[in-house]
Structure 1
């Protein structure tokens, strides 16, 4: 079995651990969409295990908040709330500022160049261009990846998955681009504190919920 992120072999403690990891990844990537009803028999056949580890895995994923169990329908993939909450932003700010501080002493010039390219592409887009969301996601995940923390990367994927379409903020994209530039400068300098501060401010100080 290989990790979807690293391509390196992964050893699971049990069949249940394996099934948990596989179903979690399918939810994160959207292969199992929101509201999808899961059938233990089908998943057991897919993963070539009995239904027991599948059932145990579903219970564990329910405790993680990714599945919801019902006496009649069984387990279904949790549907995201209508919009992000202030709690989402706080959690994201803490985790992402940590990721930036971890990445600062490790990130290389090639990654810095990638961040600059992505930010310039975002700078040239109109405010309503739908391509911004994917470019923004790629920008932030370049930083997460260079923190070299598989756990942090997994947590950020889960968090961004909960914010369908990415975090929504009440600021212009040009303001975001300017803030991205400050993050890049801090990372280029290898300044962990400055990278953390710039990232936290980017998320929290002008991040507000979109309201009707």
Structure 2
């Protein structure tokens, strides 16, 4: 409470607002990796002057989301691909955590949605481009039921950095079978089994050199 008896309000500066907005656009992929960010355009989009946009760019650069260049200005960072195994380990750790959290929170509608997505994937040919879209929805449905905004943001950022999601070499049938094990664990509310099945699903898909 303030001295006048009124409830205190959390003040958010224009810079804080712009940082949050641009960060979300990067995480969701609306601002793609490598995209040049024009401060004048962003200022017009967010109805602010260029000063908070310029300050926001510096803040986002310190977070590693954008990179500044004396000639090009700021661009959305293009993630270092790193080693394939390291990328899979990071994804496995985060997604197995999400599955464990979701096991205690997912409802019948969520289980039904996961089952439906898996069955739709089962009916697709190996090269059907719809498969990757349904697969993404399957995994993000689990993230959403974890009810962790931070985890959801991290996974959006990771899939965006991997340019549309992880690339695997196993067959659709094998992935669908592993999805069934994950769904079964979630249906039973078994967090340990959900984590284990998810971790094995991801780490078992590392392409061979």
TM over 0.5: yes
Q: Decide which structure has the larger Cα Rg and report it.
A: 2
Alignment map for 1:1-212 (pairs within 5 Å): 13-80=12-79, 85-208=84-207
Checking the alignment, whether the CA contact within 8 Å between 1:179 and 1:198 is kept in structure 2 is yes
The root-mean-square deviation of aligned C-alpha atoms, in Å, is: 1.9
Alpha-carbon separation, structure 2, partners of 1:201 and 1:94 = 11
Alpha-carbon separation, structure 1, partners of 2:191 and 2:175 = 20
Gaps of 5+ in 1: 1-10
Secondary structure of the corresponding residue to residue 170 of structure 1: coil
Alpha-carbon separation, structure 2, partners of 1:75 and 1:184 = 42
The Cα of 1:121 is off from its aligned counterpart by 0.8
The Cα of 1:170 is off from its aligned counterpart by 1.7
TM-score (normalised: structure 1): 0.87
Secondary structure of the corresponding residue to residue 128 of structure 1: coil
Gaps of 5+ in 2: 1-9
What is the total number of aligned residue pairs between the two structures? 200
Encode CA deviations 1:49-107: one digit per residue, 9 max, x unaligned.
22222122112222333211101111012235578732221111111000000000100
Checking the alignment, whether the CA contact within 8 Å between 1:83 and 1:163 is kept in structure 2 is no
Checking the alignment, whether the CA contact within 8 Å between 1:106 and 1:147 is kept in structure 2 is yes
Runs of 4+ residues deviating >6 angstroms: none
Secondary structure of the corresponding residue to residue 114 of structure 1: helix
